[in-house]
Structure 1
Amino acid sequence: MAKDEVVDRVTALAESLLSSQEMELVDIEYKREGRHMVLRLFVDKAGGITLDDCALVSREFSEILDVEDFISENYTLEVSSPGLNRPLKRESDYERYRGRLVKVRTYDVVEDEAGNRRKTFLGDLEGLAGGVVTLKLREGQMARIPLAKIAKANLEFEF
């Protein structure tokens, strides 16, 4: 089974399990690390995820994967929190984290309101409307970035 197919099937199974636990699936990685494949689930819930939550999901999801048995390669299952630099994956994330500092990387060069052309933006998230993410950049100007041009977006932790 191709990697994309594995990720799609794991996503469906994980979302079903996690919704019953009042948790959410933030991201999935299925990749080769050294000689072995790693299936990594990043999960979260209101108030934050605990080590016990990760252990519970790992046990229960491991049982589901054993029953479904669709991954032909040997792999290691890991369950983790998304961390301080949580990725923004869903449209709802851009509203949920309004006002927070984010770093956005785009596929193509995007121009901010001051005329600066760049692919990396750091600023306070103003929100998402009409498929466009708005940031107030650290330099003071605004940037409007089409969601379709975003390669990666993460919360940034300020020390």
Structure 2
Amino acid sequence: MTDITLRRADESDYGRIESLLAANDLPHQDVRDGVGEFFIAETDDECVGIGGLETDGSDGLLRSLVVAEQSRGEGYGTALCDALETSARENGVETLYLLTTTAAPFFRRRGYERVERENVPDRVRDTTEFADLCPASATCMRKGLAEVSEEEAERAADR
């Protein structure tokens, strides 16, 4: 399994986060608003990807998950998503939601299911990403985090 270190981003990372998101046509306009937390995935002190979480009680929004182009195809997306889900779970999130225009198959393989936007809790629908930044055509998905699948447990044990 691909080893990554996940650390919380700080203000010195914001420029890199915005650049990577913008380069991949992902919402980046609210990175500095402090609404959610962004995380940097690193291996050997090199940034290989980023991802964000916005949480409100038992619900959370997985957002802006991206792997740097030169690092794709090496399992970093899976490792980053595992780490973000673990962080969310450890912070009391029971259900994660996301919007995607290009990665629905990736998230479906990870146990996310399609859900209609109107079935998403208001506190998630009211986030800037849901309300303003992502197009209405984006696929909305959710995953329950209460139970860890055997596959996820194996991946976590391999790290």
More strand by share: 1
Q: Which has the larger radius of gyration?
A: 1
Q: Give the alignment's TM-score, normalised by structure 2.
A: 0.28
Higher relative contact order (CA 8 A, sep 6+): 2
Judging by fraction of residues, say which structure has more helix.
2
